[in-house]
Amino acid sequence: MADRLRLMAVHAHPDDESSKGAATMAKYAATGYDVLVVSCTGGERGDVLNPRLKGDPHIERDLAQVRRDEMKRAQEILGVQHTWLGFVDSGLPEGDPLPPLPDGCFALEPIEVTTEALVREIRRFRPHVVTTYDENGGYPHPDHIMTHTVTMAAFAAAGDASAYPHAGEPWQPLKLYYNSHNRAKYAAFHEALLEQGVESPYGDWLKDWDPEKARTITTRVPCSDYFDQRDQALLAHATQIDPDGAWFRVPRDLQVSVWPTEDFEAAMSYVPVTPVEDDLFAGIPNAATGDRLATSGELELAYDGRTEVAS
């Protein structure tokens, strides 16, 4: 592994990896990089969102195994590695007042337990770049917020020899990114659809988008050649994705012409970040592919986007 650059994408549930940064992962995997998806939970408490599959007795009997099988197929389509962190889906609480989260779920696990599990994976895989969700989880699902919290803690601890000493030899990833939720992208799709006389699925969504939640895009990865793999991986999660739904309302050629990138927000980096990058590995020296930067002791944080005002 010492001569290959490595990317780790940390996600809450199976299917999240295919809807957030999937074309980027497929691109790097096809180019010869090692790419690992970490699923923090198994999605056991998810609902069947594809109307074609609602009421299917096989799915209802063992949704957890169905979702594992879906994840395996998506992994194969994207050409990436995959591991389960092993925690239990928290579910999405609904109602007024909201019900309490179920005992033993991921969002209620002690942070030391969840962090050590991810630190162990970081030290095993030794990624140079990690991606995850912003502090809002992308959207406020308790597992997405916990995934952010755990990833930030593990990024800080993985290179520290005094932290979790039984979780493997220290390894410090060099860059941490958030998957971007970009209003401008969907606004561009919305306008392009209307110009073609096609109904847009984004109108009400854009009206409800809080401008205060705008994020800073630091990195745009050109990856339109891999949009088909992204879509096929998403469709592999058949219980979660309606093939007639909003995900697939924008024609592929329009996507490629209007927004051919996947976008990211640099959160922390031990190498300089100069927006707008076109590569998650920008600034990482070739020496980083060896073991010289295995710990955080010789590194100084060069970029800390957490302290900047999002725009």
Question: Residue positions in the annotated binding site for Zn(2+)?
Answer: 13, 16, 144
Q: Residue 147: which H helix or E strand, with range?
A: helix 142-157
C-alpha angle 25/26/30, rounded to 5°? 120
Q: Residue 107: which H helix or E strand, with range?
A: none
Q: Are 77 and 94 in contact (CB under 8 A)?
A: no
Quick one: which of 148, 122, 179, 153 has its CA closest to 7? 122
220, β-bridge pairs:
263
Q: What are the binding residues? A: 13, 16, 144
C-alpha–C-alpha distance, residues 6 and 34, integer Å: 5
| 166 three-state secondary structure | coil
